[in-house]
Amino acid sequence: MAGDARRATLEDKLREDGRGGRALLEQRDPREVAAALMRLCAALEFESLGHARRLVGWCRLLGEAAGMAGAPLHALVLGAQVHDVGKLGVAAEVLGADDALTATELDWIRMHSSLGHAVLAGVAGLEAARGLVLCHHEYWDGSGYPEGRRGAQIPRAARIFALVDSYEAIVRDDVGYRARRDHDAAYDEIVELAGVRYDPELVAIFRGIDRATWCGVYEA
């Protein structure tokens, strides 16, 4: 979707989603703002709405199992909804490229975490979600981006999201170029990478969640 086409689509979707448009203009309820941004990212084809909703469901499930409640859990859910909002600042032709990305284009993609963090700076009620948005591609061993943070330097919400996002990437069935793998394959990969990509404490909590409960999020 080229720049002009993206702007036209953005305007159309904001008109169609009257409630979302009002939420973004008025910024009275951060839950409404986050939901509107999530729908907008889906409308611009950054990711499907189903993908976003599964991430939110799994983040809530893992967050609660990890003892999160109140404001921290609320920020985790909001952050999961708006994690890719920074892609609004990445060229549409880069996001939609079918061929392998150049090094420069890959750098542009990786900027979306920092861009999202900046976009949300002035959005009332989403301040606490910004840490997840900035750090949702950081890994426990420091191999992620954009800052190469490691361990507890990464906000706990972002550590939860990183595990959930990887799980979703393995089991999702709405990606045309590869076959979906099952829960067991995702489980094994995440357990193997405990202490490498993922917070080992969170992996242990993930392992303790009943398979049916976890898989129920996908089927909901």
Residue type, 27: Q
Q: Judging by beta carbons within 10 Å of its beta carbon (0-12, 13-18, 19+), is residue 2 exposed, middle or buried?
A: exposed
Segments making up each domain of the chain, as ranges: 49-83+98-219
In tens, the pLDDT along 91-134 reads 877 877 767 788 888 888 899 999 999 999 988 889 999 999 99
Please give the pLDDT value at position 148.
96
- Tokens 């086409």, residue located: 5
The average pLDDT across 67-73 equals 97
- For domain 49-83+98-219, say whether CATH 1.20.140.10 is its number: no
pTM of the prediction? Answer: 0.88
Over residues 56-65, the mean pLDDT reads 97
